[in-house]
Each structure stands twice: as structure tokens, then as C-alpha cells.
């Protein structure tokens, strides 16, 4: 059972999503029935072998219809196409983390504090 | 099979909950803390902010940065020049007396935000509770906000992304920055990932409008400064221990 | 030739759109690069190119009346070229519709979108009043509207930078009037370039002396304003450090400003014009216009890229370092994609102008 009858959903899901999208982003109204995460949480499930279809696979819930209707959406360029717990299984550390401390060290070596000082002393000299 | 059952159960549970939700009254399902789940939306009664004590901030420690990256799924792709950095550790040194300061710098969530003023489509906006966000649905990627930001707080997504987190959607061709962990705030966590991660207690989250909040009391007793105060932007991220 | 460049530019844009902007030289420090330099140059030149028409119909100088049509055509095509470059450089060019429907009226940029589209519309009406003898009576009022519109447009383009309080190089009101004055010379140079390419030698003889003199006057005006801008920034507006960086620093910018803009883009053209080099022939005017255009591009490059490259101070009197290039002069080297896109903008303008000239009666008749 979805948040509305199937006919209603087929006809109006895009309007509902659009409406909810602006409410969520601009007013912080979350956890409502017509939220995209809500859709994904129910409609994206692993198949018998335990694998999950990704947004550009034919078997993905949205794609199966959109292909037939030749509708192109860009939701999943930004939004996750899987429920949260399937993503949290990924090891974040393995995904090429930004190493801030070493960058900072490199920066300090190659760009000592002298830049602004150099410019300022020159301005002062020119002013005199 | 067990796993599929698990999902099926969850599906049925969520669906029936949604059904109950729409038949009784929309939006009464989740009412947590100060979250705007009651269908009302956030209000300007609150103004969320951060207070950073630079005297406690340790040089070389980047726990807040790592926590932010993890919370929002940021990672390095094509190197430091184009990678997104929502929060960064900056170390400053006084040119005359050598005084050294350490602090994290992120979007300062200005009340009078230059990025909001310049955005041609209104994608860069300030929420009623003071959080400055990018509505990536209407961002066209012109980067004028990055030109306008006095704190270099914004990053442009330079490449196609995969494996974004459900609560932190982000994608190629749009601009993004610190959201003050808006998903956590809306959930009622009353904190941000960086504040939670700071091992030295140098960061504090709270409601700047509430005189009884811990952050307001701390500011009242010790005062606070803004970065680039001359610009008079009334920032929501305040610092202690930096020269006035 | 133009067509090839346009196709190459479209390919570059498609590639940038598909891969993302990491393939360009632009990054989170230098957020606006060569495409913006070219686009802004083309846009201010567009408003400047309309001047010939304005001189004729607003200020009533009959001599320039036969030149007005080409002036309007060049103005429109330059603007189209500039806008295409800026559009194709967007992170999401597919969202043009959003840019047209969601307006934030506190944004100069949004106002400029209206100004640019309006300019094209008014330009086309203006052209009609020149081509249709029955519409002749509307020419003066339309001309006045077009003239005012182009002043606002150039001021608006200048204000894109003038309102940026964050960066010391830009936060200065002179940006808007400076762009207006600079547009005179750049616009006329672009106009002459098109004229020399398409006008028969015989007709050119009629106009060459006056137009050359006009170009010299506009170059001097532009030069004086730029001097005033840098001077004012240096002495009055508390931006000494950044001007010092742009004018006397160790990077490429002083070379661009002194060598590229001042010598190649101003002094050399003035000398060539002053000594009537090669009797102001079409070939020599082509050279002079190209020099002025190159100088203008180089100057905008130094202003736009240099202004971003200079670090912003977080706290007065403190130097900063971080993993995000705080306190560091940002480096920028444009990739082939950006340059292809920029050249494509010029090519598109030139192609459209040439096409229009061939199809309609735009060029002055030889007498």
C-alpha cells in the first residue's frame, strides 16, 4: 500500500514530489509522506540475489516506467538511489578521503607567511 | 531470504504508517524536538549558530573536518583545487607579533549574506531560522555566490558524483557549502557533526535568539567576534579569542 | 572558418558539461575563468558597438547614418556571442529555463539577464527602423531608448563586480562607469574589425579618416579611465595591497597590464593611428582593431582572474594558511576547453555578423 492509490500515484507523483521538495528544502518540513527518501526506502529493495538496481538500470523502480514514457529525470544525479542503510555499509574511508593535515603541512611549507608581508612592505616603501 | 523479509517488513511497516498518517492527519507522525515536522516549517523564532573558542582549538587537529566529510559524504576526487571543502582548518599568524590562531572556518551563515543577494535565481537562500543553504534544484552553477562570499565558504561540484547520502544530496554543476547539518537540526539533534566531533570542546551549537541557551550565555559572559567584521554581515558563526 | 570554431566550441562545452568543470583550469579558488573574460568583453563591446548608430540618430551626425545598420548588427551579434559563452560555461546549462523563470530581484545578475535580452529586442527594432523607410520616423525615439538601455546595460555589467564586497579588487563603484568608457573603444574596435572584413575597399576610403580619429579618441578615454580606476583603488579605496599585486607583483598580471594592455593595447594602436600608418588602409585598421581587442581582453583577464587570485584576509593583520589555499595567491592556467569555448564566442559573433551582412542590406553603399 503506497501513500495513495496506484492510479493517483501514476498521475500525480511528480507534482507531489515537487511540492514536497520545495517544502523540505525551504521550510525544513521533513518526514512527510511524499518525500523522495520515503519513495526510495520502500521502492528500492534488493532482488533475490541481494543486489540492488541502480538508477540507470532497467530494473530500477523509476526507470522501468520512465524509459517507456521517454521521461528523463535528473533526480539521481544528486539524490541517493538507495536507502540509507545500504549506503552506510560502504566503507567511507575507502572512498578517497581528503587528507587535510597533510595538505595543510604542504601548504605551510611551500607558501610561507611571507606573501602579504612582502606586498605590504613594498606598499609602505612606495608611500614614503 | 532473511534479508528480503526484512525489507518486506519494513516496506509494509512504512506503507501502513504512511496510510495511517494520511487518514488521521498529515504530519503528526514525527514530532521530534525543534524539528519542523508538524507541517509548520521553520520559523525565525530560532537563529541557529556556532560559537568557536579559538583558544581551545588545537593546531593539527582536524576532527571537525573529518566528521563533516563523513556526515555529508564529501571525499577527494580530482585533488585539492577542485575538491569540495565545507569546513577547513585555518591557521593564522600575526604579521607583527607572531601570535598564532587556529580555527575551523565554514559558511558563516550571515544574516545579511552576500551570496543570497547576488544569486540570480534565488537558489542561494536563507532559511527562516538563519541557515544559509543552496537550493540545488534551482542552482544553475553560475558561481556568482562564490565570487561574492568573503569567507571562501562555497565549493562547486566539478565532477559527476556517485554514492551520495540520502540526507545530503549533492551533484555536478551546482554550488554547495556547509548546511549547518540542517538534516540533524530538522531531526531535533540540536547539534552538528563538527561540534559533536570536536575533542577539545572548542565548538558549541545553539540558538542565538534564545537568551537562556548555553551558546547565548557563553557569548554574554565572554563576548564574541565575527570574521571580517568590517563587512557587517551579522554572522551566525561566532569566534572567541580572535582580535576585535 | 568561423563555423569550424563554433563547432569546436560546442564540442568543448559539451565535454565540460559531460565531464564536469574539473577538466577546465577553473577551480574553487579561480571560479570565473577565460569564458567569463571573453563573455564580459563581448558584452561590453556589444554595447560599445552601438555607439556609431547612437551618434547618428541620437546626436544627429549625418555622416554616421549609413554606418548605423552595421553598428546595430555588430552590437546584437556580439551580445549573442557573449551570452552563449556565459551560458555554456554554467554548471548546469540545461537549466536555462530556470534562469529565465526564477528571478531574484536583489541580484544584479538577474537584472542583467533582463537587460541583455531586452537589448537584443530593442536592437532588432532599431535595425528595423533603419531598414524600413516607413519606420524612419521611429528611428530617433528608438535610438534614444537603445542608447539609454546600453548605458544601463554596461553599468550593470560593471556592477557585477562593483557590488562584490568580499574582494578588494572589485568593491569599488567606479567599476560601472569604467566599463561604460572602456566599452567605447572595445566596441568600436570590434565594429571596425567587422567593417574591414566585409566592406569594399572603395567605401572604406570614405569613412576611414573619421573612424580612425574616433577610435583614437575612444582609446584615450578608456586609458584615462583605467588609470583613474587603478589610481583610485590604490590611493583612496584602501586596496593598495591588491593593486600592488596586480601592478607590481611577481605574477603574470603586471606583464599583462603594462605590456599587454598599456603598450600593445593602447600606446601602439595610438601611435599607428597618430602616424596614419599605411594611410589607414583596411589591413592596418584590422591590425589596430585586433591590438585594441587583444589589449582589452588582457586587461579584463588581469582584473577578473587577478582579482580572484589575490587572497582574502580573514582577520586584519594576520596571514593565513589552510588546506583550502587561504592566504595563497591562486594559480590559474586555462585549459584548451576554456580557450576553445572563448574563441567560439568570437567566432559565433563574427559568423552571425557576416551572415547578416550577406543576407540583408547592412553595409553602406559606396558613392
d(CA C276, CA C278): 6
pLDDT at B156 over 90: yes
Does the pLDDT value for residue C65 go beyond 80? yes
Is the pLDDT at B27 greater than 80? The verdict is no
**Residue A21, domain member (yes or no):** yes
Domain ranges of chain B: 1-30, 48-240
Residue A96 has its nearest CB partner, among B26, B30, B77, at B77
Tell me whether residue A49 is in a domain: yes
Q: What is the ipTM of this complex?
A: 0.90
- Whether residue A126 lies inside any domain: the answer is no
Would you call A97 and B85 a contact, using CB atoms and an 8 Å cutoff?
A: no
pLDDT band at B232 (very low <50, low <70, confident <90, very high): very high
Among A33, A41, A77, the residue with its CB nearest the CB of B22 is: A33
Nearest CA distance, A72 vs chain B (angstrom):
15
Given a cut of 50, whether residue B20 has pLDDT beyond it is: no
Mutate to test the interface with B, among A13, A78, A119 (most CBs of B within 10 A): A78
Work out the average pLDDT over C133-158.
Answer: 91
Tell me what the mean pLDDT of segment C255-264 comes to.
94
Closest partner residue to C321 (CB to CB) among A74, A98, A111 is A111
Inter-chain touch B42–A23, beta carbons under 8 Å: no
Q: What φ, ψ does residue C6 adopt, rounded to 5°?
A: -65, -45
Distance CA C190, CA B148 (A): 31
Query: Which chain B residues are within 8 Å of C95, Cβ to Cβ?
Result: 138, 140-141
| Chain B residues touching A40 at Cβ < 8 A | 166
Average pLDDT over residues C72-83: 95
C316 CB neighbours in chain B (<8 A) are: 230, 243
Interface contact A78-B136, CB threshold 8 A: yes
DSSP C158-205: HHHHHT-TT-TTT--TTHHHHHHHHHHHHHHHHHHHHHHHHS-HHHHH
Whether residue A28 lies inside any domain: the answer is yes
Query: Contact C357/C29 with Cβ under 8 angstroms?
Result: no
- Which residues of B, range 105-164, sit inside 8 Å of C by Cβ? 105, 114, 116-123, 138-144, 146-152, 154-160
A80 versus B244: the higher-pLDDT residue is A80
- pLDDT score recorded for residue A27: 92
Q: Please give the pLDDT value at position C153.
A: 94
Angle A87-A90-A95 (CA atoms, 0-180°, nearest 5)? 115
Do residue C244 and residue A119 have CB atoms under 8 angstroms apart?
yes
* Residue span of the structural domain in which A33 resides: 6-94
Q: pLDDT tens-digit profile of A94-128?
A: 555 566 555 555 555 444 444 444 444 444 444 44
pLDDT single digits (tens) B187-225: 999 999 999 999 999 999 999 999 999 999 999 999 999
Rounded Cα–Cα distance for residues B23 and B17 (Å): 10
Among B26, B95, B169, the residue with its CB nearest the CB of A116 is B95
Residue-averaged pLDDT of chain C? 90
Query: Beta partners for B87?
Result: B106
Q: What is the pTM of this model?
A: 0.88
Question: How far is residue C1's CA from residue A110's CA, in Å, rounded to a whole number?
Answer: 45
Residue B88 belongs to what H/E stretch?
strand B87-94
pLDDT at A116: 45
A28 and B127: CB-CB below 8 Å? yes
Kindly list the residues from chain C whose CB atom is less than 8 angstroms away from the CB atom of residue A116.
241, 311, 313, 319, 327
pLDDT tens digit string along C149-201?
A: 999 999 999 999 988 888 888 877 788 899 999 999 999 999 999 999 988 88
Q: Which residue has the cell 521533513?
A: A30
Q: Chains with 3 or more CB pairs closer than 8 angstroms to B?
A: A, C
Which is higher by pLDDT, B86 or C236? Answer: B86
Residue in chain B closest to A82 (alpha carbons) equals B166
Distance from CA of C230 to the nearest CA of B (A): 20
- Partners of C333 on chain B (C-beta within 8 Å) are none
Q: Which of B75, B77, B170 is the closest to A78 by Cβ?
A: B170
Name every chain B residue with its beta carbon within 8 A of the beta carbon of A103: 80
Among the partner residues C241, C249, C319, nearest to A113 by beta-carbon distance = C319
Q: Which residue of B has its CA nearest to C93?
A: B140
Q: How far is A26 from chain B (nearest CA, A)?
A: 6
Architecture of the domain delimited by B48-240: 2-Layer Sandwich (3.30)
What are the backbone dihedrals phi and psi of residue B123, each rounded to the nearest 5 degrees, phi first?
Answer: -70, -35
Residue B122 has pLDDT above 90, yes or no: yes
Task: Show the domains of chain C with their CATH numbers.
Answer: 2-359 (1.20.1630.10)
To probe the interface with C, which of B74, B79, B120 has the most C CB atoms within 10 Å?
B120
Q: Between chains, do B141 and C102 touch, taking CB under 8 Å as contact?
A: no
Per-residue pLDDT of chain A (128 residues; tens, 9 = 90+): 789 999 999 999 999 999 999 999 999 998 888 999 999 989 998 888 878 888 888 889 999 899 889 998 889 999 999 888 787 655 555 555 566 555 555 555 444 444 444 444 444 444 44
- Per the CB < 8 Å rule, is A116 touching C327? yes
Are the beta carbons of C49 and C211 closer than 8 angstroms?
no
CA distance C27 to C50: 35
Q: Rounded CA gap, B80 and B188, in Å? A: 33
In a domain, A108, yes or no: no
Model confidence over C281-317: pLDDT tens digits?
A: 888 999 999 999 999 999 999 999 999 999 988 998 8
Query: Which residues of chain A have a Cβ shorter than 8 Å from any chain C Cβ?
Result: 74, 98, 100, 103-104, 107-108, 111, 113, 115-117, 119-120, 122-123, 126
- Any domain includes A118: no
Residue B124 has φ and ψ, to the nearest 5°, of: -85, 115
Average pLDDT, integer, range C234-242: 79
Res A103: pLDDT: 59
Supply φ then ψ for residue B59, to 5 degrees.
Answer: -65, 145
Domain presence at residue A109? no
Percent of chain B with pLDDT strictly greater than 70: 84
Which residue in A has a C-alpha nearest to residue C328's C-alpha?
Answer: A111
Beta pairing class for B48-53 and B237-240: parallel
Count of structural domains within chain A: 1
Closest C-alpha to A20, from A6, A42, A3, A7? A3
Cell of B226: 565575527
Which chain B residue lies closest to A101 (C-alpha atoms)?
B60
Predicted pLDDT of residue A128: 43
Instruction: Kindly tell me the sign of the dihedral angle through the C-alpha atoms of C280, C283, C285, C291.
Output: negative
Q: Is the residue at A30 inside a domain?
A: yes
- Chain A hits for C251, Cβ within 8 Å: none
Amino acid at each position: 500500500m503506497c501513500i495513495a492509490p496506484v492510479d493517483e500515484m501514476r498521475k500525480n507523483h511528480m507534482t507531489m514530489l515537487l511540492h514536497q521538495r520545495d517544502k523540505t528544502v525551504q521550510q525544513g518540513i521533513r518526514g512527510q509522506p511524499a518525500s523522495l527518501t520515503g519513495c526510495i526506502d520502500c521502492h528500492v529493495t534488493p532482488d533475490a540475489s541481494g543486489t540492488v538496481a541502480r538508477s540507470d538500470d532497467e530494473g530500477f523502480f523509476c526507470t522501468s516506467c520512465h524509459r517507456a514514457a521517454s521521461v528523463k529525470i535528473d533526480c539521481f544525479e544528486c539524490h541517493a538511489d538507495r536507502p540509507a542503510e545500504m549506503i552506510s555499509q560502504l566503507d567511507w574511508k575507502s572512498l578517497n578521503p581528503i587528507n587535510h593535515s597533510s595538505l595543510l603541512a604542504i601548504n605551510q611549507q611551500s607558501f610561507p607567511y611571507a606573501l602579504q608581508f612582502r606586498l605590504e612592505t613594498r606598499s609602505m616603501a612606495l608611500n614614503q | 531470504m532473511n534479508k528480503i523479509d526484512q525489507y518486506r517488513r519494513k516496506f509494509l511497516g512504512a506503507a501502513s504508517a504512511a496510510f495511517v498518517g494520511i487518514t488521521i492527519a498529515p504530519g503528526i507522525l514525527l514530532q521530534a524536538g525543534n524539528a519542523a515536522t508538524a507541517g509548520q516549517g521553520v520559523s525565525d523564532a530560532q537563529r541557529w549558530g556556532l560559537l568557536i573558542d579559538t583558544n581551545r582549538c588545537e593546531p593539527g587537529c582536524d576532527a571537525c573536518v573529518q566528521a563533516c566529510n563523513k556526515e555529508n559524504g564529501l571525499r577527494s576526487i580530482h585533488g585539492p583545487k577542485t575538491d569540495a571543502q565545507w569546513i577547513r582548518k585555518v591557521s593564522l599568524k600575526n604579521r607583527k607579533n607572531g601570535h598564532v590562531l587556529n580555527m575551523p572556518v565554514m559558511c558563516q551563515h550571515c544574516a545579511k549574506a552576500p551570496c543570497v543577494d547576488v544569486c540570480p535565481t534565488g537558489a542561494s537562500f536563507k532559511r527562516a531560522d538563519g541557515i544559509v543553504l543552496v537550493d540545488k534544484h534551482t542552482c544553475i552553477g553560475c558561481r556568482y555566490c562564490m565570487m561574492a562570499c568573503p569567507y571562501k565558504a562555497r565549493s562547486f561540484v566539478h565532477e559527476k558524483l556517485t554514492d551520495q547520502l540520502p540526507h545530503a544530496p549533492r551533484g555536478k554543476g551546482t554550488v554547495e557549502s556547509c548546511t549547518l547539518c540542517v538534516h540533524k537540526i530538522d531531526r531535533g539533534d540540536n547539534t552538528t557533526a563538527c561540534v559533536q566531533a570536536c575533542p577539545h570542546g572548542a565548538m558549541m551549537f545553539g540558538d542565538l535568539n534564545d537568551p537562556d541557551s548555553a551558546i547565548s550565555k557563553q557569548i554574554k559572559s565572554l563576548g564574541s567576534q565575527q570574521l571580517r567584521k568590517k563587512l557587517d554581515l551579522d554572522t551566525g558563526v561566532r569566534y572567541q579569542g580572535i582580535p576585535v | 572558418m568561423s563555423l569550424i570554431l563554433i563547432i569546436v566550441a560546442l564540442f568543448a562545452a559539451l565535454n565540460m558539461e559531460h565531464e564536469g568543470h574539473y577538466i577546465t583550469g577553473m577551480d574553487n579558488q579561480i571560479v570565473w575563468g577565460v569564458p567569463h573574460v571573453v563573455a564580459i568583453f563581448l558584452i561590453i563591446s556589444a554595447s560599445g558597438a552601438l555607439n556609431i548608430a547612437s551618434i547618428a540618430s541620437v546626436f544627429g551626425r549625418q555622416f554616421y547614418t549609413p554606418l548605423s545598420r552595421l553598428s546595430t548588427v555588430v552590437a546584437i551579434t556580439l551580445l549573442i556571442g557573449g551570452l552563449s559563452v556565459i551560458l555554456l560555461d554554467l554548471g548546469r546549462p540545461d537549466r536555462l529555463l530556470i534562469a529565465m523563470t526564477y528571478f531574484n530581484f536583489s541580484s544584479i545578475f538577474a537584472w542583467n539577464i533582463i537587460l541583455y535580452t531586452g537589448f537584443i529586442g530593442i536592437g532588432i527594432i532599431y535595425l528595423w527602423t533603419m531598414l524600413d523607410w516607413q519606420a524612419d520616423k521611429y528611428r530617433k525615439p528608438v535610438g534614444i531608448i537603445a542608447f539609454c538601455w546600453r548605458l544601463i546595460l554596461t553599468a550593470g555589467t560593471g556592477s557585477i563586480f562593483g557590488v562584490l564586497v568580499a574582494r578588494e579588487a572589485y568593491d569599488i563603484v567606479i567599476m560601472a562607469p569604467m566599463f561604460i568608457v572602456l566599452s567605447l573603444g572595445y566596441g568600436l574596435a570590434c565594429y571596425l574589425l567587422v567593417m574591414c572584413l566585409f566592406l569594399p575597399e572603395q567605401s572604406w576610403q570614405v569613412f576611414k579618416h573619421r573612424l580612425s580619429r574616433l577610435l583614437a579618441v575612444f582609446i584615450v578615454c578608456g586609458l584615462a579611465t583605467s588609470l583613474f580606476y587603478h589610481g583610485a583603488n590604490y590611493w583612496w579605496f584602501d586596496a593598495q595591497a591588491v593593486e600592488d599585486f596586480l601592478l607590481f607583483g611577481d605574477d603574470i598580471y603586471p606583464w599583462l597590464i603594462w605590456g599587454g594592455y598599456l603598450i600593445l593595447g593602447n600606446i601602439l594602436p595610438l601611435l599607428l593611428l597618430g602616424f596614419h600608418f599605411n594611410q589607414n588602409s583596411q589591413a592596418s585598421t584590422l591590425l589596430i582593431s585586433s591590438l585594441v581587442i587583444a589589449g582589452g581582453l588582457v586587461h579584463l583577464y588581469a582584473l577578473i582572474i587577478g582579482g580572484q587570485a589575490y587572497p582574502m584576509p580573514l582577520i586584519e593583520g594576520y596571514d593565513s594558511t589552510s588546506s583550502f589555499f587561504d592566504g595563497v595567491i591562486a594559480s590559474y592556467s586555462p585549459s584548451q576547453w576554456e580557450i576553445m569555448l572563448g574563441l567560439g564566442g568570437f567566432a559565433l559573433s563574427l559568423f552571425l555578423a557576416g551572415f547578416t551582412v550577406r543576407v540583408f542590406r547592412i553595409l553602406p553603399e559606396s558613392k
